[in-house]
Amino acid sequence: MNLENNMATTTQDQPPMTEAEYSGVGGNCCPFCRSENITGGSVEINNGGAYQTVGCDDCDKEWTDTYALTGYEET
């Protein structure tokens, strides 16, 4: 059995990550299959928040990462 087939079977058996789990890993993987082979689009900023469309190159799922303003630093 090759690794790709094993990974596909394993990921199908797992439920998607919760928002807390996804935030806990810093959003560095697909919340559906847990692959690190993800690609993010441009970040859009609106009303103190930011949004980014992200896609997984392994399972082809797409989602939106959401960010909140937490403060500022003088530069």
DSSP letter for 46, please: E
- pLDDT for res 18: 96
Which domain covers residue 31, as residue numbers? 3-68
- pLDDT for res 47: 87
From the list 27, 23, 22, the residue with the least C-alpha distance to 38 is 27
- pLDDT for res 12: 61
User: How many domains would you assign to the chain?
Assistant: 1
pLDDT tens digits for range 23-54? 999 999 999 999 999 999 999 999 889 999 99
Residue 47, token pair as written in the block: 């009303």
Q: What is the mean pLDDT of the chain?
A: 87
- pLDDT for res 22: 95
Q: How far apart are CA 6 and CA 10, in angstroms?
A: 6
* Threshold 0.85, pTM exceeds: no
Are residues 69 and 49 in contact, defined by beta-carbon separation less than 8 angstroms? Answer: yes
* Residue pointed to by tokens 């403060």: 71
